[in-house]
Amino acid sequence: MYAGISTLYLLLGAGASLWLNIPNVNAHLTAWHKGMYCLDGVDPGVVDYNSAAAVTPLYQLTKSDWWFHHINGCDNFPPAGKNFVELPAGGSFIVEIASNRAKTSLSYNGSETSDWPDGNTYPEDYVRNIGQYIYLFCLIVHTQNQSMAAGTAFAISYNSDIHQVTAENLVVFSVRYNTPWKRITSYDVPAAMPACPAGGCICAWGWVPNGCGEPNIYHMAYKCRVSGATSTTPLAAAKPPVWCEGNQTACTKGAKQMIYWNQNDGNNVEVDGYDLEGSHKSPPYNMKLGFQDGESGRSNREHNS
């Protein structure tokens, strides 16, 4: 996969025609952090510094397989020791969005990292919208350019046991519009996030790529905990988001579930037809589905009626 992309980049540099000879590769991505499940891969007792076990996309699977990436057993490999994603109430935290652990600071002392998710270096002038760059960014981050990136989100469940997490108690608390894009990505934490139980919370990262290939989803698990909490008000039960582009009164008010789409069962969002730009509707983490950018603390405590 990576060789494919490097080869493509060399071709680009040489000015060869990309349109004729595109390798059939897609960069699949996830948010890497030492608090994630299956960081070390899915071979018991083996630490795989070159693991892509967490990045395979989820498409047309049964819920028992797609939920927390059970398809390859990811959810059976909790993070080691006391590794949590620390969520500072009112602050922000950082993850590394990448195609492989090797391309993060969690492997090889970060020697294979770059600003981008796949360890390579790309020109910043992609915004000129040259056809070849569109193809390139499709391959890397499943989008034609940053403004088209679908957005990603973190959600939290106030349960320490991953098996107790449900779509209703896993509440989206932070969204970053126009991601995935670069490797280092930060998310804001609501000031009013209450503390987690003693064993921590379970968090999840989600992404629904829009265009540039298979319309799949990503659903990754983490152990997380809130620091500096002052609020004790629990989050509300989450409701599915609904398509509400151009009509905010139609959006789901209050706490929202993550986006579950294009699976055999367990979907919570249905869309059909075209969006206002004339593209096939794809449910994103942005206002088309009623998600604000940044932390969503206020709506997290609002109950849906």
Ligand X SMILES: *[C@@H]1O[C@H](CO)[C@@H](O)[C@H](O)[C@H]1NC(C)=O
- Rounded least distance, CB 84 to ligand X, Å: 23
Residue 5 or 102: which CB sits closer to ligand X? 102
Least spacing, CB of residue 295 vs ligand X, in Å: 26
Give me the least distance between CB of 97 and ligand X, in Å please. Answer: 19
Neighbours of 26 (CB within 10 A): 19
C-alpha dist (Å) from residue 253 to 173, 234, 298, 301 = 14, 17, 10, 10
* Least distance CB 253 / ligand X (angstroms): 11
Nearest CB to ligand X, comparing residues 146 and 231? 146
Instruction: Name the minimum Å distance from CB 148 to ligand X.
Output: 5
Instruction: Give the contacts of 13 (CB within 8 A, at least 6 positions apart).
Output: none
The three-state secondary structure class of 92 is strand
* Token couple for 235: 């989050």
Q: How far is CA 256 from CA 145, 197, 241, in A?
A: 27, 21, 6
Q: Shortest Cβ distance from residue 249 to ligand X (Å)?
A: 5
C-beta separation of 118 from 5 below 8 A: yes
Which two tokens mark 23? 């390798």
Q: Which is nearer to ligand X, 248 or 264 (CB)?
A: 248
Positions in the binding site for ligand X (CB under 6 A): 108-109, 127, 129, 144-145, 147-148, 247, 249-250
Return the number of the residue (236 or 244) whose C-beta is nearest ligand X. Answer: 244
CB-CB contact of 173 with 189 (8 Å): yes
Taking the least distance from each CB to ligand X, the nearer of 104 and 263 is 104
Residue 21 or 129: which CB sits closer to ligand X?
A: 129
Name the residue with the smallest CB distance to ligand X: 250
User: Hey, is 274 helix, strand or coil?
Assistant: strand
